Amino acid sequence: MATVTLTDIRKTFGSTEVIHGVDIDIADGEFVVIVGPSGCGKSTLLRMVAGLETVTSGEVRIGGQRVNEREPMDRDIAMVFQNYALYPHMSVFDNMAYGLKIAGRSKAEIATRVGEAAKLLQLEPYLDRRPRELSGGQRQRVAMGRAIVRKPAVFLFDEPLSNLDAKLRVQMRLEIKQLQRRLGVTSLYVTHDQVEAMTLADRMIVMNAGVADQIGPPLEVYANPRTEFVASFIGSPPMNFLPLDVAGEVAPGAARLGVRPEHMRITPTDPRLTAEVKYAEALGAETLVHVALPDGTMATVRQSAGELQPEEGASVGLGWDAGDQILFDAKGVAV
């Protein structure tokens, strides 16, 4: 159990700076998710915490101790990799026992601890198998088991679910969350999937091009995105952005207006603007209606299934509550 503190972390590859000063404070036992698109530097950040990449400048502290110069093995961390990184020539048992054997634990202790982890992860029937004889979800569990048997102070997850199919991903997501709750180990989790971030995180960090755009609890980030990037990245379908003049709004310093699809409604009475329905996607529980505004900007309206579906090509009125709109300035920062 430990806190993790990153202070003004920067990383340069050659002459290109890819991470431009990130500060993060992770409390003991907290589950923090770093989310961002490919190439935003989130994995690099995680690897710097793990000690797999050098830190160009700034400081990484684990449990209050500066660890910049420490080898990965001396940082008291465990990591789950995207491709699981299991040792292909070892049985499941040996995979999980590897770290303990190196640490020189007694055979009895190793057997107990691996047994406990296997029970927790329902891996007991598979202890003698090789990784290639397991399914994707089972391999994922072994990778988790390898991390938990060592009882590290910090768990690091590098996109652990992205190699699984959609259904399994949802299931494993829940398992990871429950496991982390039960063990109470400080966790740092990297993903490009905003749903994973929303569901897992105590707090999430939205990264964009080497900068942490926003740090906060998922719902807080969802409700009050600090930048247009955060607003568009978190939430699916993304927030609608309307030019101010089209929206008929006057606000000094603002350039665009953002409204979540679920806050926008198709209304015949007192519409704020009119738009043409391009097409509608009925998803069962809800329907996504895509409309074109007078200036050509596309917007999405999320309707529940019971609502009346407009016909394609129809002209409809759009409305929303002023309290649900967020104004952004020309640089994309919320005003």
Could you say whether residue 136 binds other proteins (CB under 8 A)?
Answer: no
| Min dist. Cβ of residue 270 to other proteins (A) | 58
Nearer to other proteins, 102 or 333 (CB): 102
Choose among 331, 332, 327, 334: nearest CA to 249.
Answer: 327
Interacting residue with other proteins among 87, 178, 281, 312 (CB under 8 A): 87
What is the identity of the amino acid at 87? Y
In the numeric block, which tokens belong to residue 77? 């961390």
Alpha carbon distance 254, 228 (integer Å): 12
Nearer to other proteins, 130 or 290 (CB): 130
Q: Which stretch binds other proteins (CB under 8 A): 73-81, 163-171, 222-230, 271-279?
A: 73-81
Interacting residue with other proteins among 12, 54, 83, 171 (CB under 8 A): 83
Choose among 237, 196, 203, 207: nearest CA to 220.
Answer: 203
Q: Which stretch binds other proteins (CB under 8 A): 17-25, 84-92, 197-205, 236-244?
A: 84-92
Could you say whether residue 85 binds other proteins (CB under 8 A)?
Answer: yes
Could you say whether residue 77 binds other proteins (CB under 8 A)?
Answer: yes
Beta strands in the chain (DSSP E): 4-13, 16-26, 31-35, 57-62, 65-66, 77-80, 154-158, 186-191, 203-208, 211-216, 240-243, 256-259, 265-266, 273-282, 286-292, 298-304, 315-319, 326-328
Using DSSP's 3-state secondary structure scheme, residue 162 falls into: coil
Is the peptide bond preceding residue 237 cis, with omega within 30 degrees of 0? yes
- Residues ≥6 apart with Cβ < 8 Å to 161: 140, 169, 172, 173, 176, 191, 193, 196
Number of residues counted as binding other proteins (CB under 8 A):
24
Contact string 1-40 vs other proteins (x = CB under 8 A): ----------------------------------------
Interacting residue with other proteins among 34, 50, 120, 301 (CB under 8 A): 50
Interacting residue with other proteins among 72, 137, 271, 319 (CB under 8 A): 72
Could you say whether residue 56 binds other proteins (CB under 8 A)?
Answer: no
Interacting residue with other proteins among 6, 49, 60, 78 (CB under 8 A): 78
Q: How many beta carbons lie within 10 A of that of residue 3, not counting itself?
A: 17
Interacting residue with other proteins among 1, 68, 98, 177 (CB under 8 A): 98
| Min dist. Cβ of residue 172 to other proteins (A) | 18
Return the residues of window 235-274 that contact other proteins according to CB under 8 A. none
| Min dist. Cβ of residue 193 to other proteins (A) | 20
Could you say whether residue 102 binds other proteins (CB under 8 A)?
Answer: yes
Return the residues of window 144-183 that contact other proteins according to CB under 8 A. 146, 150
The CA–CA distances, whole Å, from 76 to 88, 137, 201 equal 24, 26, 22
Scored b (16 or more CB within 10 A) or e, 233-258 reads bbbebbbbbbeeebbebeeeebbbbb
179 close to 144: Cβ distance less than 8 angstroms: yes
| Contact set with other proteins (CB under 8 A) | 50-52, 71-73, 77-79, 81-83, 85-89, 98-99, 102-103, 132, 146, 150
